Amino acid sequence: MTDIAVSTTRGVASDAARRSVVSMRDVSKVFSNGTLALKGMSLDVQAGEFISLLGPSGCGKSTALRIIAGLGAPSSGSIDWPSSKINAKGLPDGDVGFVFQDPTLMPWATVYDNVYLPLKLRGISKAAAREAIMDNLAAVGLADFTASYPRELSGGMRMRVSIARAMVTRPKLLLMDEPFAALDEITRQKLNDDVLRLWQQHGVTVIFVTHSVYESAYLSSRIVVMRARPGQVFADMEIAQPAERDQAYRVSEGYRQTCQDVSDALQRAIGAAETH
C-alpha cells in the first residue's frame, strides 16, 4: 500500500475528539462464482471524516461499502464498530444510513411517507416523526413537496428524498454509493454542496463511493484510492480543504492541484493493478 499525505487536515472534528467509527480488518470477499472482489482490505474510519473511495470500475468500492452496511458478509476478516452498540446481527443499532446509486423510493408513496419509512420500521408514529421528517426535507430543499410522488420529481429531487430518508434517523455513519453518477453536472454540483452542508451541520461521518477524481477532490477530507480487482487500498490521502467550498474553490489553484495529485495516485493504482 502506498500512503500519500497531501495534508494533515481531516474533516470538521478536532483530533482530540476523534474516535474510530468503523474498522475493516483484513477483509476479503469471494463471490459464489469465484470472483475475488476484495483481498485483505483494511480501513479505519474516524468520526467526522468525509472519505471517498475512488477507483476504477470493478475494484470493489461498492462491495466494501455493502459489507460495512451489513448488506453482504466478508469471506474473511472482520468489521469492527468500536463506539456503537451492536445488535444480534453484529451491526450497530440505527447508526448507519445508506444512499444507493438509484433513489430506490416506493413509487406508490408520497415524499413524506418515503422519508417516514425508517422511523415507521422503528415503531414511531407518523405524528411523532413529523418534526424529524420535515426537518430533513427542509434540509434538502423539499419541504414544499411532501405530498408529491416520485414520478412527479426530477432525478435530482428523487435523490434528495433518498438522502433525507437516510438522514432522518440521525445516523453516525452515512454510506453513499455513487449517488450522483447519473445526474447532469449542474445538479451533481448542487447536490455535492448540499451533502457537504449536511456533513458540516450534523457532524455525520461519510463514506462516499465515486469514480470521479473531481468529485472526490471537492468533497473529501480523505481519499482512499483502490487498485483494480481484487480490491485493496493503494493510497490513503488526507486532503486540505478550505472552510468554505464553493464555485470559487472549483476554479482555484488549490483545487486544481488536489485534482492533479489524486489523478496521479489513481493512475499509479491502475498501473500497479496491471502488473499485480
pLDDT tens digits, one per residue of 15-73: 434 688 999 999 999 999 999 999 999 999 999 999 999 998 889 999 999 999 989 99
pLDDT tens digits, one per residue of 172-186: 999 999 999 989 999
pLDDT for position 58:
86
For the chain, the DSSP string reads -EEEES-S--SSS-GGG--EEEEEEEEEEE-TTS-EEEEEEEEEEETT-EEEEE--TTSSHHHHHHHHHTSS--SEEEEE-TTS-B-TTSSBTT-EEEE-SS----TTS-HHHHHHHHHHHTT--HHHHHHHHHHHHHHTT-GGGTT--GGGS-HHHHHHHHHHHHHTT--SEEEEESTTTTS-HHHHHHHHHHHHHHHHHH--EEEEEES-HHHHHHH-SEEEEEETTTBEEEEEEE----S--SHHHHTSHHHHHHHHHHHHHHHHHHHHHHT-
Last residue of a domain, one of 145, 170, 195: 170
Identify whether residues 164 and 230 lie together within a single domain.
no
Identify whether residues 10 and 32 lie together within a single domain.
yes
Identify whether residues 8 and 42 lie together within a single domain.
yes
What is the mean pLDDT of the segment spanning 87-100?
77
Domain count, the chain: 2
Identify whether residues 197 and 217 lie together within a single domain.
yes
Confidence of residue 208 (pLDDT cuts 50, 70, 90): very high
Last residue of a domain, one of 153, 170, 187: 170
Identify whether residues 225 and 147 lie together within a single domain.
no
Last residue of a domain, one of 170, 194, 221: 170
Identify whether residues 30 and 91 lie together within a single domain.
yes
pTM of the model: 0.89
| Domain of 130, in residue numbers | 103-170
Identify whether residues 165 and 137 lie together within a single domain.
yes
